[in-house]
Amino acid sequence: MDMENQRRVKELAEKYPKEDLVVILGGAEAEASGLAAETVSNGDPAWAGPLAGVQLGLKAYHIFEPEIKEQVDPAVYEEQVSLMEMVLDVDAIVQEVRSIREQYAAW
Amino acid sequence: MRIVHYLNQFFGGIGGEEHAGHRPEVRPGPVGPGMALKAALGGTAEIVATVICGDSWFNENLEEAKATVLGLIRQHEPDLVVAGPAFNAGRYGMACGAVAQVVTEQLGIPVVTGMYPENPGVEVYRRYAWVVETGNSAAAMRTAIPAMAAIVKRLAAGLEPEPGTYLERGLRVNTFAAERGSARAVEMLVRKLKGEPFTTEYPMPSFDRVPPNPPVKDLSKAKIALVTSGGIVPKGNPDHIESSSASKYGKYYLGDVDDLTAETHQTAHGGYDPTYANADADRVLPVDVMRELEREGVIGKLHDYWYATVGNGTSVANARAYARAIAEDLKKYEVDAVILTST
C-alpha cells in the first residue's frame, strides 16, 4: 500500500473508533490484496510507510467477499465489479484477505 | 553491540521515486525496517542510528555519497553496519553494496545486508558483506529481517555465520587438509563412480540454458550477421572498448569491406595473445570467408554491420544487456541468422 494511502488510513483511524471502520480493498490479485489487508491490521509489512510498526487492527475486506457484495446494490455491483469478478482469481483473493483478517483484525 | 542501519529514501519513510534525489541524513535510533530488526534482535544489539540516502543521489554522486555516508556512520561508532534489505531494487542494492565496501575498507567492521540473488549489488559487492538471500520485493520483509537478525546475532556472539545462511561471498580461504589434493580428488572420483554422495571442494558456476532458435530454412536467401566477443574493431579502436570488463559494444559498417587486414582492423581484447588477430582479424571475425560464401550464393547476404565487444571479464549481466540491444538492432535490419565468434 502506498505511503499516501497509509497516511489516509492512519488519519481516519485516529479520527473514528477503529471498531467502526472497515477497509474495502479492490486489489487485482491475492498477494497484493493480502499485503494491503495486513498493512491496515498488523502494520506495513515492508516497514516503509506511516503504518510501519503501527497495528491498527482494522478489518479489511475485498469487494469480492460475499459479506460486502451482499451490501451493494446488485445493479451497481453488476455494472462496476462483475466484469473483473469474471477475469480475476476470486477464490484466491478472498481466501488470502480472509486469512489475514482472521490473524490480525482486532475487532 | 552498536549498529548503524543504512536505508534508502523509501524505507526511510521520506518518499518514493520523487524523493530519490534525497541527500544523506542521519537519524537517532531505528527507522522503518530497523524497527522490525530491533524486535528481531531482542537485546543482542542496539540500532543507535539510521543513515538515509536517496537511491538516485547515491548512485549519481558515488564518491561523494560513499564519503558522506561513511562520515555519518563513523560518528556513531558502530561495531556493525546493517544495510537494506534491498530485495531486487538495483540502485538500492548497489548503494548498500557500496556502503558495505567503504565500511569494510575504512572501518574494518562487518556489514550485513539482504538482496535478491539477481540484484546487481550481489555480483559487484558480495565480498564486502554478509548478504542474506531475500525474495524479490518488499513483501519478503517478514523473512528477510529474521534471517539478517540471525547473522547479526552470530557475529555479535563472535561466531562466523553458518554457510548456507548467506549468499556465497566469492572469497577463497586457505585451510590445511590431512590429505593432499590429488588424493582427495581421486577419493571423490571413486565415490562418484560408485554413485555415492560426495561434496565438491570447488562448486562450478551455474549457467542458464537458452533454448535454440528454429533452424534457418533457406541459407541462400538468408541475411547473416557477424557478432563477436573477440574484440575485433576498426584500427585504432575508435570507441575505446576496454581490453577487459568491457563497458560497451561497438557497431561497425561492413558494407564496403571484403577482407580485414592488419592495416584496417585489430582486436581490442586483452585476454589472449593478439598477434594473430592483429595480423589478420578475419581469424576471429571471418569477413573474407563470408564474402566468398555470399558470392557463391551459399548465403543470401552478409549484414552491413558487425557488432563487437570484449568478452574478457565482462559480467554476465552486461553481456546480456549488450546482447539484448544487439538483437533488437538485428531484428530492425531483418537479419535471419547470426554467427557468433569468440576467441
Cβ <8 Å between B32 and A47 = yes
Q: What DSSP string describes A1-58? A: --HHHHHHHHHHHHHS-GGG-EEEE--SSHHHHHHHHHHHHT--TTS-STTTT-----
Rounded Cα distance between B284 and B286, Å, is 6
Whether residue B29 lies within 8 A of chain A, CB to CB, comes out as no
Cβ <8 Å between A46 and B15 = no
Instruction: Catalogue the long-range contacts made by A82-88 (C-beta closer than 8 Å, 24 or more residues apart).
Output: A84/A28, A88/A28, A88/A29, A88/A64
- Mind telling me how many Å the CA of A35 is from chain B's nearest CA? 7
Cβ <8 Å between B11 and A46 = yes
Rounded Cα distance between B131 and B151, Å, is 9
Q: Over its length of 343 residues, how does chain B's per-residue pLDDT go in tens digits?
A: 999 999 999 999 998 888 999 999 999 999 999 999 999 999 889 999 999 999 999 999 999 999 999 999 999 999 999 999 999 898 999 999 999 999 999 999 999 999 999 899 999 999 999 999 999 888 899 899 999 999 999 999 999 999 899 999 988 888 899 999 999 999 999 999 999 999 888 877 777 788 888 999 999 999 999 999 999 999 999 999 999 888 899 999 999 999 999 999 999 998 888 999 999 999 999 999 999 999 999 999 999 999 999 998 787 778 999 999 999 999 999 999 999 998 8
ipTM confidence: 0.72
Among the partner-chain residues B16, B33, B138, the one whose CB lies closest to the CB of A3 is B16
Q: With beta carbons under 8 A apart, name residues in chain B contacting A35.
A: 139
Query: What's residue B314's pLDDT?
Result: 80
Query: What's residue B216's pLDDT?
Result: 93
Cell, residue B299: 548465403
Question: DSSP secondary-structure letter at B1?
Answer: -
Mutate to test the interface with A, among B5, B141, B148 (most CBs of A within 10 A): B141
Cβ <8 Å between A48 and B36 = no
Q: What phi-psi label fits residue B46: left (phi over 0), alpha (psi between -120 and 50 degrees) or beta? A: beta
Among the partner-chain residues A2, A31, A53, the one whose CB lies closest to the CB of B139 is A31
Quick count: other Cβ atoms within 10 Å of Cβ B73? 25
- Mind telling me how many Å the CA of B53 is from chain A's nearest CA? 14
Rounded Cα distance between A42 and B101, Å, is 35
Closest residue of chain B to A6, computed from CA coordinates: B13
Query: What's residue B239's pLDDT?
Result: 95
Q: What DSSP string describes B49-76? A: EEEEE-HHHHHHTHHHHHHHHHHHHHTT
Question: DSSP secondary-structure letter at B243?
Answer: S
Closest residue of chain B to A4, computed from CA coordinates: B15
| CA distances in angstroms from B239 to A23, B250, B251, B284, B306, listed in the order given | 58, 7, 9, 19, 14
Cβ <8 Å between B36 and A3 = no
Q: Are B130 and B112 in contact (CB under 8 A)?
A: yes
Sign of the CA dihedral with B323 first, then B221, B256, and B283 last: positive
Nearest CA-CA partner of B114 in B105, B137, B102:
B137
Quick count: other Cβ atoms within 10 Å of Cβ B159? 10
Query: What's residue B209's pLDDT?
Result: 83
Nearest CA-CA partner of B267 in B306, B309, B305:
B309
At residue B160's C-alpha, the angle toward residues B156 and B161, to 5°, is 90
Domain that holds residue A80: 3-104
Cβ <8 Å between B141 and A47 = yes
Residue B196 three-state SS: coil
Within 13 Å and on the Cβ side, how many CA atoms surround A51? Answer: 30
Whether residue B141 lies within 8 A of chain A, CB to CB, comes out as yes
Quick count: other Cβ atoms within 10 Å of Cβ B309? 28
Query: What's residue B6's pLDDT?
Result: 98
Rounded Cα distance between B175 and B177, Å, is 7
Cβ <8 Å between B11 and A48 = yes
Query: What's residue B201's pLDDT?
Result: 85
Residues A61-106 pLDDT 10s: 999 999 999 999 999 999 999 989 988 999 999 999 999 999 999 8
Sign of the CA dihedral with B294 first, then B299, B301, and B303 last: negative
Among the partner-chain residues B10, B142, B145, the one whose CB lies closest to the CB of A48 is B10
Query: What's residue A63's pLDDT?
Result: 97
Mutate to test the interface with B, among A41, A47, A55 (most CBs of B within 10 A): A47
Whether residue B15 lies within 8 A of chain A, CB to CB, comes out as yes
Rounded Cα distance between B269 and B248, Å, is 13
Q: Are B250 and B259 in contact (CB under 8 A)?
A: no
Cβ <8 Å between B13 and A31 = no
Whether residue B221 lies within 8 A of chain A, CB to CB, comes out as no
Cell, residue A71: 451490501
Cβ <8 Å between B141 and A50 = no
Q: Is the pLDDT of residue A49 over 80?
A: yes
The domains found in chain B, sorted by start residue, are 2-156 (3.40.50), 219-341 (no CATH)
Query: What's residue B174's pLDDT?
Result: 87
Residue B338 three-state SS: strand
Question: DSSP secondary-structure letter at B235?
Answer: T
Residue B340 three-state SS: strand
User: Into how many domains does chain A fold?
Assistant: 1
Residues 144-163 of B with CB under 8 A from A: 145
Q: Are A94 and A67 in contact (CB under 8 A)?
A: no
Rounded Cα distance between A64 and A84, Å, is 9
